[in-house]
Chain A
Amino acid sequence: MEGTLNRYPLLAPALAILLLLTPACRIHKKNSHAKAAEDDGQLVSVINVGDPRAAVQLTRGFHGLEHDSWRWTMKNFTATLRPPANAANAGATLQLKLTIPQVMIDRVGDMRVEGRVNGLDLGPQTYTQPGDYIYTRDVPPAALSGDAVSIDFHVDKGLPPSDQDTRELALIVTTIGLLPK
């Protein structure tokens, strides 16, 4: 054996590569993680933006999930929520849990957030300091009819796309919810 290897020094590496290729020599069957499971069509009233099952309710204006818990938003973003039980009679409370980082205040100054439900303006809130906040507004019953409501948010300032980050950035959001009253 040693004599053969001495005569053909590249034989061993070539055989090793062939052995490595052997399990690959079959037609591919896809990875198991690629299966497209179907959802049940049920929306929730409170979205944790890190929950992949609720991602469908982040209608537009949200960037990818970071650290499994939060997302940057654009200046305009929309989420769709299921009104809580009895909301058509009693209304509900909208809560947007957000963070304004120091870098945003440093670069754009005060930030004003406004919510809108079914054409109804919920009123602005201005944030002058970095930190964690909850934008809270009462939503009247008339704006909460149907199986789902689309809630638009607008932030007056944000960071435009740049070479360092090609995304438009406004708020860091963790939770959006309609709570029963």
Chain B
Amino acid sequence: MTRFSRYGWLAIAPAFALLIYWRVPLSWFANDDFAWLGLPLEVHRARDLIEVLFAPRAQGTVRFLGERLFFLVFSVVFGYHALPYHLFALATWCGDLVLAALIGERLTNSKAAGVLGAVFWTASSILVTPIAWVSAYNELLCGFCILMAFYARLRGWRVTEWIAYLAGFGALEVIVVYPAIATLYALISQQNRDRKDVRSALPLFIPAILFTILHFLLIPKNASGYYKVEIDRRIFSTLLQYLKWCLGPSRLFQLTAHWGRFGTRVMWITALALALFVIRQLWRRGALALFFCGWFLFLVAPVLVLPYHVTDYYASLAELGLAWLAGWAMVVAWRTGWLTRGFAIALAASSLAGSVREDDGYTRWYYRRSIRMEALFFGIEDSLRAHPGSALILHGVDNDLFQTGFQDEPFRLLGFPKVYFAPGGEAGIIAREDLGGVAPFLISPRQALSMIANNQARVLGVSNDGVRDITRGYQVVLRADPRATRIDALDAGDPNAAASFGPTWFPPEGGFRWMPKSATVRMSAPQDASQRLYLTGFAPGPVLKSGPVSMTVLVDGSEVGKSVIRAPNAQFAFDFALPDLTDKPSIEITIELDKVLRAPSDNRELGMVFGTFSIR
């Protein structure tokens, strides 16, 4: 047997992976990718690189290799061409699978067990996200670091182990559990070795402990509830959820109602079979089963305390422990007898068939949504090239497309164009409020008509076939819309809205507008007696220097409310009930302040800075 053919078995799992994930290289970007693709925009001089590479981002993470350097280098070299990113991720994944097979073989003394472990691992649908979504590349890279470090440990290559281990800190925080994995293996392999392995594992804890301390003490944590750490009994239900995802095609029902029950049954039978196998091995003092279970538990443990963010791919690296266990169990069953052999083959075939069906469904989902976003992104680029400086009004954006990354600001990569939904298009969109909700994308029919008429906006129709410029048709549609003549919302900084602001307002500057002691705004009357008036603005510190400012709001001469502005240099937002004015076409809103600023260098009498007015 030549060395080449001796290593051929290592290509089995990567080849299987490439077959399953054939759509991945054809996919584009989505969601967080757009934030990372914007990294080059933040580098203006050499010292910015330090901030870009090492400042905590997202959930307070500093994954300078797994996210920052990867995206920075690839976006500079390849721009918004997703293929190289995906190929690099797939190459890393193939490396993970080769290492998984090599380690599996060394641990079980069986090439078949190693290959089967790697095949089960890559077939698991929880791997779809790290492989198909570029932003989750950190999982693949961290997997490579952990596996390389552990393989080096098995081979006695200490320097390689340390290099791979330390590199893992730049990939993903879960690397901190590697010393525990190395120590567990050293302990269970004591029967055949001296204590040298344990002693060599202990220093690995030093970087992990230092990293953990620094991570918790120095890095500000994300205030969002999604990443809140809570240690309580929910840890067990979270663990059960991750186990279900890892043990088989438990989510087939999402793709095919007919086979859903089949997938769930396969998952439970697999769980039972593996549990019996572990018990049998422990009974026979086979501690390797303990190591595989430990691998799973150590790597899943850090995410068990995130009950509000239980996400399948968080268990990607942990899953390998169960995959190795399954591969080993298959080989043992094969050797045991015809009955167990038949049962193991039937179960493995069922599990793989279900998992591959899941992989196909999920990769198709990633592919479809990402290419829709690609079509929109480049449609906008085309439009901006033909109409520089225009705002974009998007018609036909549905929730699926919105969820593919609108709140990650993909269009800032095209020069920060202002992007709106066609009025009414926000219905059915579910946006994260902690990221600003849908408000940044809203525009009234009247504003839209005004911007189109003044050549300040283009309208793009978004459909499954791509993007079309529908500005002329949409202008005709808007003219027929009675709502386009209503004024339900006003942006004080919008020069096109000047006609609605009374004579005392100062001209708009930089997206806002100063008011003097008293100012008026004309808007359409409310359509419903339950509607309220909403005001937002900014309270400049100098105006509040002598104390709070009282603001009185009148509608058609009658007072509807009074508010006190106390916080200097802060935004304010108030809302007021309105009297029943539904029989009127329009109303005049008057804002009066009890004090203003007369700065020596400015002859103007300055009150508050607005802001927006809306009736809803």
Return chain A residues, CB-CB under 8 Å to B475.
41
Q: At the interface, yes or no: A137 with Cβ under 8 Å from chain B?
A: no
Q: Confirm or deny: B309 has a beta carbon within 8 angstroms of a beta carbon on chain A.
A: no
What residues on B are CB-neighbors of A59 within 8 Å? 424, 477, 481
Tell me, yes or no, whether A37 is within 8 Å of chain B by CB: yes
Asked if A28 is at the interface of the complex by the 8 Å CB criterion, the answer is yes
A23–B382 Cα gap in the complex (Å)? 24
Q: For residue A64, give the distance in angstroms from its CB to the closest CB of chain B.
A: 5
Q: Chain B residues with Cβ under 8 A from A119's Cβ? A: 482
Q: Are A42 and B473 in contact, with the CB atoms below 8 A? A: yes
CA distance A84 to B425 in the complex (A): 27
- In angstroms, Cα B473 to Cα A147, docked, is 11
CA distance A168 to B428 in the complex (A): 7
Q: Is the CB of A150 within 8 A of B4?
A: no
The residue from B4, B399, B477 contacting A57, defined by CB atoms under 8 A apart: B477
Answer yes or no: A2 CB below 8 A from chain B CBs: yes
* Chain B residues within 8 Å of A148, by CB: 476-477, 479-480
In the bound complex, CA of A118 to CA of B482 (Å): 8
Indicate if the CB atoms of B94 and A61 lie closer than 8 Å.
Answer: no
Contacts of A43 in B (CB 8 A): 473, 476-477
Distance A78 CA – B483 CA, assembled complex (angstroms)? 12
Q: How far is the CA of A148 from the CA of B428 in the complex (A)?
A: 26
Determine the distance from Cα of A44 to Cα of B548 in the docked complex, in whole angstroms.
58
Among B14, B375, B383, B422, contact of A31 (Cβ-Cβ < 8 Å): B375
Does chain B have a CB within 8 A of A162? Answer: no
Inter-chain contact B468/A37, CB cutoff 8 Å = yes
B residues contacting the other copy or chain, number (CB 8 A): 64
Are B375 and A34 interface neighbours, CB within 8 A?
A: yes
CA of A64 to CA of B83, assembled, Å: 28
- CB-CB contacts below 8 Å: B402-426 with A: 422-425
State the CA gap A147–B477 with chains docked (Å). 9
Q: List which A116-172 residues lie within 8 A (CB) of chain B.
A: 118-119, 146-150, 161, 166-168
Per the bound structure, the CA–CA distance linking A28 and B7 in Å amounts to: 36
Contact with A along B56-100 (1 / 0, CB 8 A): 000000000000000000000111110110011001001000100
Cα A57 to Cα B467 in complex, Å, equals: 15
> Of residues 1 to 45 in A, which have CB atoms within 8 Å of B's CB atoms?
2, 5-7, 9-10, 12-13, 17, 20-21, 24-28, 30-31, 33-43
| The residue from A12, A30, A147, A161 contacting B381, defined by CB atoms under 8 A apart | A30
Is the C-beta of B470 less than 8 angstroms from some C-beta in chain A? yes
With contact pairs A52-B468, A56-B477 given, residues A36 and B482 touching in the complex (Cβ less than 8 Å): no
Please report the C-alpha to C-alpha distance between residue A41 and residue B474 in the assembled complex, in whole angstroms.
7
The segment out of B173-181, B281-289, B456-464, B597-605 that lies at the interface is B456-464
Which chain B residues border A80 with CB–CB below 8 Å?
476-477, 480-481
Tell yes or no: B395 within 8 A of A by CB.
yes
Report B-chain residues with C-beta under 8 Å of the C-beta of A25. 77-78, 84
Known contacts A6-B4, A7-B3, A56-B477; is A35 also within 8 Å of B470 by CB?
no
> With an 8 A cutoff between CB atoms, is B494 at the interface?
no
Q: Given the complex, which residues of A lie within 8 Å of B2, measured CB to CB? A: 2, 6
- For the complex, is B378 an interface residue (Cβ under 8 Å from A)? yes
| Residues on A with beta carbons closer than 8 Å to the beta carbon of B80 | 28
A41-B472, A43-B476, A150-B480 known; A167-B399 Cβ under 8 A: yes
- Contacting B at CB under 8 A, from A66-113, are 74, 78, 80
Q: Indicate the member of B380, B461, B476, B480 with the most A CB atoms within 10 Å.
A: B480
Q: A34-B379, A36-B383, A74-B427 are in contact. Are A24 and B3 (CB under 8 A)?
A: no
- Which A residues lie within 8 Å of B42 (CB)? none
Among residues of A, the one whose C-beta sits closest to the C-beta of B423 is A60
How far does the alpha carbon of A50 sit from the alpha carbon of B554 in the complex, in Å? 49
Query: Is B473 within 8 A of A56, CB to CB?
Result: yes
Query: B473 to nearest A CB, angstroms?
Result: 4
A61-B427 contact in complex given A24-B81, A36-B382, A36-B460, C-beta closer than 8 Å:
yes
| Cβ contact within 8 Å between A166 and B428 | yes
Q: Is B396 in contact with chain A by the CB < 8 A criterion? A: yes
Contact in complex: B466, A27 (CB < 8 Å): no
A67 vs B211: C-alpha distance when bound (angstroms): 53
Q: A36-B382, A41-B475 are in contact. Are A10 and B7 (CB under 8 A)?
A: yes
B480-A146 in contact (CB<8A): yes
Does B588 sit at the interface, judged by CB under 8 A? no
Q: In whole angstroms, what is the CA distance A146 to B383 when docked?
A: 30
Residues of the B chain whose Cβ atoms lie less than 8 Å from the Cβ of A78: 424, 481
Instruction: For the complex formed, measure the closest distance between the CB of B573 and the CB atoms of chain A, giving whole angstroms.
Output: 27
B429 CB → nearest A CB, Å:
9
Q: What mask results when residues 204 to 247 of chain B are scored 1 for a CB within 8 Å of chain A, else 0?
A: 00000000000000000000000000000000000000000000
Q: Please report the C-alpha to C-alpha distance between residue A42 and residue B400 in the assembled complex, in whole angstroms.
A: 29
In contact, B378 and A30 (Cβ under 8 angstroms):
yes
Q: Is B471 an interface residue (CB 8 A)?
A: yes
7 residue pairs, one from A and one from B, having the closest CB atoms: A41-B472, A60-B424, A28-B81, A34-B378, A148-B480, A30-B378, A9-B7
A-B contact pairs, 15 of them (CB 8 A): A9-B3, A17-B91, A17-B94, A21-B87, A24-B84, A33-B466, A36-B386, A36-B468, A43-B477, A52-B465, A55-B395, A60-B422, A78-B424, A148-B476, A168-B428
Using a CB–CB cutoff of 8 Å, the interface residues on chain B facing chain A are 2-4, 6-7, 11, 14, 77-81, 83-84, 87-88, 91, 94, 98, 374-383, 386, 395-396, 398-400, 422-425, 427-428, 430, 459-461, 463-477, 479-482
